[in-house]
Chains A and B, each alone.
Chain A
């Protein structure tokens, strides 16, 4: 296998791995509220989301020519930069998943690529205004808008159904949750699988497999991207699902529907206007809004604050990892050898972490002491 083809395979596999993490990281966006309000059993919810993610990936093939378009200098993006950016994004997705924090996979990818570009080409290759207009402003607008829409929506909903028999009302909202969650899953598949398709297409163009003039996305790229995101979704990021579904607010079916319905409306409005909004930011804002409108103290603001911190850290943290990975790859010789060395180092790191988790805690040397139960009576 020649070096160019090996690098292509590395980038494609890493892109699909990112797609997989994107799926399981963002499962919570579409299923957490449905699971929390018992609109759907957990396994069925993630199965439906996975199928609709897969279908959504085939709905539209308007693949962007470059990743982080308008944010970094498109002509300077190399496969090594893309590889480092993907590793940065995957790392941040795994860290936030471990802590059960919903954060934007798109922002993680942008951060990773920006970090790698800063190391490879310097600050001149990053468009500060693009970063503000396409990342920072949407990151502020998305949760605030969804917060207001879900808040106003739930107040109206309570006013309309407040005095009715609760049983059928709850069943009605649960049905609405299934529909709005399905729409969100379709939209997620359409938006996020396309990012991976764009990366793989870019890699194929760079390798010379596809022509640079209007490259057509091969079917295997669409199918593999759709499969990776669907498999990731089916794996279910249960830690984040718990945070979104029950740790921020204890929601009822009407709140769940308001959060999801407002999220779907805002995302589709943004998509129609060509304004990039993060699904994670929108749904999280909707969940907090639906809770706060009922009672401010119903929201666990500490959890919401942790999420906000994770959002602020996404770009710099993924960027730091992306930059470091690019640096290591460059020091190891760049080209194909650099990414290969990085893969080797990552494999060693993962093996060490897995081993550390499996190792049982050391047994104390001294005799086992039993703390007496203060409540025990002789």
Chain B
């Protein structure tokens, strides 16, 4: 019969990781765009702040890709 525990794990992990990935990537794009706009308007402090946010988001996205590759190789 259905492995209920595995099913619940898939639903929970799939939902959190899926929505989490989309949110983090969207925030990364948003921060990158805001950093670009701030730099164009010569607001250096704001630009650095947004660029730092984008970098953190980028690192998280790369970590997600690495985790996905690790899962594929060790399944």
Give chain A's interface residues, CB within 8 Å of chain B: 56, 59-60, 62, 129, 132-133, 137, 141, 145-146, 148-150, 152-154, 156-157, 160-161, 164-165, 168-169, 172-173, 176, 179, 183, 186-187, 190, 254, 257-258, 261-262, 264-266, 268-275, 277
Q: Output the nearest chain B residue to A282 by Cβ-Cβ distance.
A: B14
B contacts, CB < 8 Å to A? 1-3, 6-7, 9-11, 13-15, 17-23, 25-30, 32-34, 36-37, 61, 65, 68-69, 71-75
Starting from the known contacts A160-B27, A265-B17, 6 additional A-B residue pairs (CB-CB under 8 Å) come to: A160-B30, A186-B72, A257-B22, A269-B14, A273-B6, A273-B9
Given known pairs A145-B11, A183-B65, the reply for A274 and B22 (CB within 8 Å) is no
Interchain nearest-CB distance for B10 vs A (Å):
5
Assembled-state Cα–Cα distance A145/B9 (Å): 12
A271 & B19 in contact (Cβ 8 Å cutoff) = no
In the assembled complex, the Cα of A158 lies from the Cα of B19 at a distance in Å of 13
Determine the distance from Cα of A342 to Cα of B22 in the docked complex, in whole angstroms. 49
CB atoms of B73 and A145 under 8 A apart: no
If the complex has contacts A153-B19, A153-B23, A275-B3, are A60 and B73 also in contact, measured as CB distance less than 8 A?
A: yes
The answer to whether B18 touches A149, judged by C-beta atoms less than 8 angstroms apart, is yes
Q: Name the A residues within 8 Å of B17 (CB-CB).
A: 265, 268-269
Q: Are A264 and B22 in contact (CB under 8 A)?
A: no
Per CB-CB distance, the 7 closest pairs between chain A and chain B, nearest first, are A153-B22, A265-B18, A172-B29, A149-B18, A266-B14, A269-B14, A262-B18
A65 and B2 CA atoms in complex are apart in Å by 21
Find out whether the CB atom of B22 lies under 8 angstroms from the CB atom of A168.
no
Please report the C-alpha to C-alpha distance between residue A60 and residue B72 in the assembled complex, in whole angstroms. 7
| A149:B72 contact, CB within 8 angstroms | no
Q: Which of B3, B15, B26, B75 contacts A60 (CB 8 A)?
A: B75
Given A133-B1, A153-B23, A269–B10 Cβ distance below 8 Å? yes
B-chain residues with CB within 8 Å of residue A160 when the two chains form the complex: 23, 26-27, 29-30
CB distance from A95 to the nearest CB of B (A): 29
Asked if residues A270 and B15 are in contact (CB atoms below 8 Å), the reply is no
Query: In the complex, what residues of A have CB within 8 A of residue B37's CB?
Result: 165
**A273 neighbours in B (Cβ, 8 Å):** 6, 9-10, 13
Instruction: Say yes or no: A257 contacts B14, CB within 8 Å.
Output: no
Question: Which residue in chain B gives the minimum CB-CB distance to A272?
Answer: B71
